[in-house]
Protein backbone atom coordinates (compact mmCIF):
# COMPACT_ATOMS: atom_id res chain seq x y z
CA UNK A 1 0.00 0.00 0.00
CA UNK A 2 2.76 2.45 0.93
CA UNK A 3 4.72 1.60 -2.21
CA UNK A 4 1.67 2.27 -4.41
CA UNK A 5 1.08 5.61 -2.71
CA UNK A 6 4.70 6.63 -3.30
CA UNK A 7 4.43 5.77 -6.98
CA UNK A 8 1.22 7.80 -7.34
CA UNK A 9 2.83 10.72 -5.51
CA UNK A 10 5.86 10.56 -7.81
CA UNK A 11 3.64 10.49 -10.90
CA UNK A 12 1.77 13.58 -9.70
CA UNK A 13 5.03 15.36 -8.86
CA UNK A 14 6.47 14.71 -12.31
CA UNK A 15 3.25 15.75 -14.05
CA UNK A 16 3.31 19.08 -12.13
CA UNK A 17 6.41 20.01 -14.11
CA UNK A 18 4.18 20.56 -17.15
CA UNK A 19 2.75 23.76 -15.65
CA UNK A 20 4.11 27.28 -16.33
CA UNK A 21 4.96 26.36 -19.87
CA UNK A 22 7.29 23.44 -19.08
CA UNK A 23 6.96 20.52 -21.48
CA UNK A 24 4.94 17.55 -20.17
CA UNK A 25 7.00 14.54 -19.09
CA UNK A 26 7.18 11.54 -21.37
CA UNK A 27 5.62 8.20 -20.41
CA UNK A 28 9.11 6.69 -20.40
CA UNK A 29 10.31 9.25 -17.85
CA UNK A 30 7.38 8.53 -15.54
CA UNK A 31 7.91 4.79 -15.89
CA UNK A 32 11.62 5.11 -15.03
CA UNK A 33 10.87 7.16 -11.92
CA UNK A 34 8.28 4.63 -10.81
CA UNK A 35 10.80 1.82 -11.13
CA UNK A 36 13.40 3.74 -9.11
CA UNK A 37 10.92 4.43 -6.31
CA UNK A 38 9.71 0.82 -6.34
CA UNK A 39 13.31 -0.39 -6.00
CA UNK A 40 14.00 1.99 -3.12
CA UNK A 41 10.81 0.84 -1.41
CA UNK A 42 11.89 -2.80 -1.82
CA UNK A 43 15.31 -2.03 -0.32
CA UNK A 44 13.67 -0.43 2.72
CA UNK A 45 11.41 -3.47 3.07
CA UNK A 46 14.45 -5.80 3.07
CA UNK A 47 16.14 -3.73 5.75
CA UNK A 48 13.08 -3.85 8.01
CA UNK A 49 12.69 -7.59 7.36
CA UNK A 50 16.31 -8.22 8.36
CA UNK A 51 15.90 -6.13 11.50
CA UNK A 52 12.72 -8.04 12.37
CA UNK A 53 14.49 -11.41 12.04
CA UNK A 54 17.45 -10.23 14.08
CA UNK A 55 15.18 -8.91 16.83
CA UNK A 56 13.46 -12.31 17.12
CA UNK A 57 16.76 -13.84 18.29
CA UNK A 58 17.99 -13.19 21.81
CA UNK A 59 21.68 -13.40 22.64
CA UNK A 60 22.54 -15.25 25.88
CA UNK A 61 25.62 -16.78 27.51
CA UNK A 62 25.93 -20.51 28.18
CA UNK A 63 26.39 -21.44 31.86
CA UNK A 64 26.47 -25.23 31.52
CA UNK A 65 24.98 -28.26 29.80
CA UNK A 66 22.41 -30.23 31.81
CA UNK A 67 21.95 -33.11 29.38
CA UNK A 68 21.64 -33.78 25.67
CA UNK A 69 18.70 -31.45 25.08
CA UNK A 70 18.80 -29.01 27.99
CA UNK A 71 21.19 -26.19 28.84
CA UNK A 72 21.40 -23.39 31.40
CA UNK A 73 22.10 -19.86 30.20
CA UNK A 74 22.64 -16.41 31.62
CA UNK A 75 19.85 -14.20 30.33
CA UNK A 76 20.68 -10.71 31.50
CA UNK A 77 20.70 -10.90 35.29
CA UNK A 78 18.66 -14.12 35.32
CA UNK A 79 19.77 -17.72 35.04
CA UNK A 80 17.41 -19.75 32.85
CA UNK A 81 17.10 -23.43 32.01
CA UNK A 82 16.49 -23.89 28.28
CA UNK A 83 14.87 -26.97 26.76
CA UNK A 84 15.70 -27.31 23.07
CA UNK A 85 12.51 -27.38 21.00
CA UNK A 86 11.66 -30.24 18.67
CA UNK A 87 14.17 -32.83 19.83
CA UNK A 88 14.49 -35.46 22.54
CA UNK A 89 17.66 -37.19 23.69
CA UNK A 90 17.77 -40.28 25.92
CA UNK A 91 17.87 -39.65 29.66
CA UNK A 92 21.37 -39.61 31.17
CA UNK A 93 20.17 -40.46 34.71
CA UNK A 94 17.70 -42.92 36.17
CA UNK A 95 14.34 -41.21 36.53
CA UNK A 96 10.70 -41.88 35.72
CA UNK A 97 11.09 -40.81 32.09
CA UNK A 98 14.10 -43.10 31.63
CA UNK A 99 12.05 -46.05 32.89
CA UNK A 100 9.11 -45.10 30.65
CA UNK A 101 11.39 -44.82 27.62
CA UNK A 102 13.02 -48.17 28.38
CA UNK A 103 9.62 -49.85 28.64
CA UNK A 104 8.29 -48.17 25.51
CA UNK A 105 11.34 -49.12 23.44
CA UNK A 106 11.78 -52.54 24.99
CA UNK A 107 15.32 -51.63 26.03
CA UNK A 108 17.25 -52.14 29.23
CA UNK A 109 17.40 -48.91 31.22
CA UNK A 110 21.18 -49.15 31.30
CA UNK A 111 21.15 -48.82 27.51
CA UNK A 112 18.98 -45.71 27.73
CA UNK A 113 21.29 -44.13 30.32
CA UNK A 114 24.38 -44.98 28.27
CA UNK A 115 22.86 -43.35 25.19
CA UNK A 116 21.87 -40.32 27.24
CA UNK A 117 25.41 -39.89 28.50
CA UNK A 118 26.72 -40.06 24.93
CA UNK A 119 24.24 -37.37 23.86
CA UNK A 120 25.24 -35.18 26.81
CA UNK A 121 28.92 -35.66 26.04
CA UNK A 122 28.30 -34.71 22.41
CA UNK A 123 26.55 -31.48 23.41
CA UNK A 124 29.29 -30.58 25.87
CA UNK A 125 31.73 -30.95 23.03
CA UNK A 126 29.78 -28.38 21.00
CA UNK A 127 29.11 -25.65 23.56
CA UNK A 128 31.05 -24.59 26.63
CA UNK A 129 30.56 -22.26 29.56
CA UNK A 130 30.90 -18.68 28.41
CA UNK A 131 29.87 -19.35 24.82
CA UNK A 132 27.50 -16.84 23.26
CA UNK A 133 24.43 -18.36 21.59
CA UNK A 134 21.13 -17.01 20.28
CA UNK A 135 17.67 -18.14 21.30
CA UNK A 136 14.74 -18.19 18.90
CA UNK A 137 11.30 -18.72 20.42
CA UNK A 138 8.20 -20.27 18.92
CA UNK A 139 4.52 -19.87 19.84
CA UNK A 140 4.79 -21.23 23.40
CA UNK A 141 7.79 -19.81 25.27
CA UNK A 142 7.80 -21.99 28.42
CA UNK A 143 6.87 -25.54 29.33
CA UNK A 144 4.96 -26.72 32.39
CA UNK A 145 8.22 -26.90 34.35
CA UNK A 146 8.98 -23.23 33.72
CA UNK A 147 11.85 -23.91 31.32
CA UNK A 148 12.37 -21.69 28.30
CA UNK A 149 11.58 -23.47 25.04
CA UNK A 150 13.92 -22.35 22.28
CA UNK A 151 15.81 -23.04 19.11
CA UNK A 152 19.46 -22.41 19.88
CA UNK A 153 21.83 -20.93 17.29
CA UNK A 154 25.59 -21.26 17.61
CA UNK A 155 27.98 -18.40 16.94
CA UNK A 156 28.56 -19.65 13.39
CA UNK A 157 24.83 -19.58 12.66
CA UNK A 158 24.14 -23.32 12.85
CA UNK A 159 20.91 -24.45 14.50
CA UNK A 160 22.00 -26.54 17.49
CA UNK A 161 18.73 -28.47 17.72
CA UNK A 162 19.12 -29.63 14.13
CA UNK A 163 22.83 -30.39 14.56
CA UNK A 164 22.19 -32.73 17.49
CA UNK A 165 19.57 -34.66 15.50
CA UNK A 166 21.66 -34.75 12.33
CA UNK A 167 24.65 -36.06 14.29
CA UNK A 168 22.52 -38.95 15.53
CA UNK A 169 22.11 -38.07 19.19
CA UNK A 170 18.41 -37.16 19.35
CA UNK A 171 14.97 -38.18 18.21
CA UNK A 172 12.46 -35.75 16.71
CA UNK A 173 9.85 -34.61 19.22
CA UNK A 174 7.67 -31.79 17.95
CA UNK A 175 4.82 -30.67 20.17
CA UNK A 176 2.30 -28.25 18.59
CA UNK A 177 2.16 -25.34 18.32
CA UNK A 178 6.00 -25.20 18.45
CA UNK A 179 6.61 -26.75 15.03
CA UNK A 180 8.50 -24.01 13.16
CA UNK A 181 11.49 -26.20 12.19
CA UNK A 182 9.79 -29.60 12.20
CA UNK A 183 10.66 -30.42 8.57
CA UNK A 184 14.35 -29.66 9.18
CA UNK A 185 14.46 -32.04 12.14
CA UNK A 186 12.72 -34.84 10.25
CA UNK A 187 15.23 -34.57 7.40
CA UNK A 188 18.12 -34.45 9.89
CA UNK A 189 16.84 -37.59 11.63
CA UNK A 190 16.60 -39.47 8.32
CA UNK A 191 20.14 -38.39 7.47
CA UNK A 192 21.53 -39.66 10.79
CA UNK A 193 19.80 -43.03 10.48
CA UNK A 194 20.77 -43.55 6.85
CA UNK A 195 24.40 -42.72 7.59
CA UNK A 196 24.44 -44.63 10.90
CA UNK A 197 25.66 -41.66 12.94
CA UNK A 198 25.74 -41.22 16.70
CA UNK A 199 23.34 -43.56 18.46
CA UNK A 200 22.64 -45.32 15.14
CA UNK A 201 26.26 -46.38 14.63
CA UNK A 202 26.53 -50.14 14.22
CA UNK A 203 22.80 -50.63 13.80
- Give the residue among 94, 157, 98, 152 at the shortest CA–CA distance from 123: 152
CA–CA gap between residue 93 and residue 78 (Å, rounded): 26
Torsion, Cα 99 62 156 185, to 10 degrees, reads 20
- Residue-level pLDDT, tens digit, the chain, 203 residues: 545 554 454 455 445 544 455 555 566 665 676 675 656 655 644 444 333 444 479 999 999 999 999 999 999 999 999 999 999 999 999 999 999 989 988 889 999 999 999 999 999 999 999 999 999 999 999 999 999 999 999 999 999 999 999 999 999 999 999 999 999 999 999 999 999 999 999 77
Residues 83 and 168 in one domain: yes
Residues 43 and 128 in one domain: no
CA–CA gap between residue 15 and residue 23 (Å, rounded): 10
| Cross-strand bridge partners of residue 151 | 136
- Give the residue among 66, 67, 15, 5 at the shortest CA–CA distance from 37: 5
Domain harbouring 65, CATH code: 2.40.50.90
Residues 117 and 195 in one domain: yes
Residues 23 and 106 in one domain: no
Burial of 119 (0-12, 13-18, 19+ CB in 10 A): buried
Residues 71 and 108 in one domain: yes
> pTM for this structure?
0.72
Annotation says 83 is catalytic: yes
Residues 10 and 106 in one domain: no
The H or E element spanning position 30 is helix 27-55
CA–CA gap between residue 178 and residue 11 (Å, rounded): 46
Domains contained in the chain, number: 2
Domain that holds residue 193: 57-200
Residues 140 and 68 in one domain: yes
Annotation says 78 is catalytic: no
φ/ψ of residue 150, rounded to 5: -150, 160
Residues 48 and 87 in one domain: no
Residues 7 and 102 in one domain: no
Residues 44 and 128 in one domain: no
Residues 189 and 145 in one domain: yes
Annotation says 4 is catalytic: no
Which of these is catalytic: 11, 75, 124, 147? 147
Residues 25 and 92 in one domain: no
Which of these is catalytic: 91, 103, 187, 194? 91
Which of these is catalytic: 59, 83, 100, 187? 83
Domain boundary (36, 54, 72) is at 54
Amino acid sequence: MLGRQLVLWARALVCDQSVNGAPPPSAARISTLERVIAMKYFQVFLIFAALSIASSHERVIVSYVVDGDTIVVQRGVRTEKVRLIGIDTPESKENSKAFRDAERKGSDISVIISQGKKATSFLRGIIKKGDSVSLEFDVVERDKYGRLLAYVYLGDGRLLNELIVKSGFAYVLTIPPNVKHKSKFIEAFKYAQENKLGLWAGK
